[in-house]
Amino acid sequence: MRHEAQHEGQGRSLTPWYTQGAFDRLANLGARVFFAHPSCPALKSKGKTMKNIFVGNLSFGTTEQDVRTLFEAHGKVDRVTIVTDRDSGQPRGFGFVEMTNNAEGDRAIAAVNGKEIGGRALNVNEAKPKSEGASRGGGGGRGNSGGGGRGRY
């Protein structure tokens, strides 16, 4: 990823808006909401890395609070998300937990993996980012998708 761009024809180097300095200036102005790309260096916490944890095989009755309580026993939990179906709103049986401290996250994974909740043994491991080339699949197409019609005369 390139962090500087040449202004076309003028030879000037432009610094992107999402540098740490720009981020700090916005924070000092009292701004509370930031929209930034996830790979923005300014979003990385200093000295600590976040642990994103996949939690699978959740029973459909398990709530975000249930998952939070389970993981808080092992460290500070930043966010819990249970993934729901876009159309029905029903839980899909898995979710994600973000823990502030990487080491606490590793300990939580080891402690919670295989633990039973709601009659189901949880599958817990470090969440892997989606690969660049991964697609959602989708339906195959028909060879000729032309419409019916009367044809040519």
- CA-to-CA distance for 135 and 33, rounded, in angstroms? 31
pLDDT in tens, 52-85: 999 999 999 999 999 999 999 999 999 999 999 9
Q: Among candidates 90, 95, 82, which has minimal Cα distance to 56?
A: 95
- Which DSSP letter does residue 2 get? -
pLDDT in tens, 9-66: 455 545 454 555 655 655 555 544 444 445 555 445 444 578 999 999 999 999 999 9
In DSSP terms, which residues pair with 82 in a beta bridge?
A: 95
Q: Given this structure, which CATH class describes domain 49-126?
A: alpha beta
pLDDT, averaged across the chain: 75
The pairing of strands 116-117 and 77-84 is: unpaired
- CA-to-CA distance for 40 and 19, rounded, in angstroms? 8
pLDDT confidence bin for 90, thresholds 50/70/90: very high
Show the tokens assigned to 151.
Answer: 């044809």
Domain ranges of the chain: 19-47, 49-126
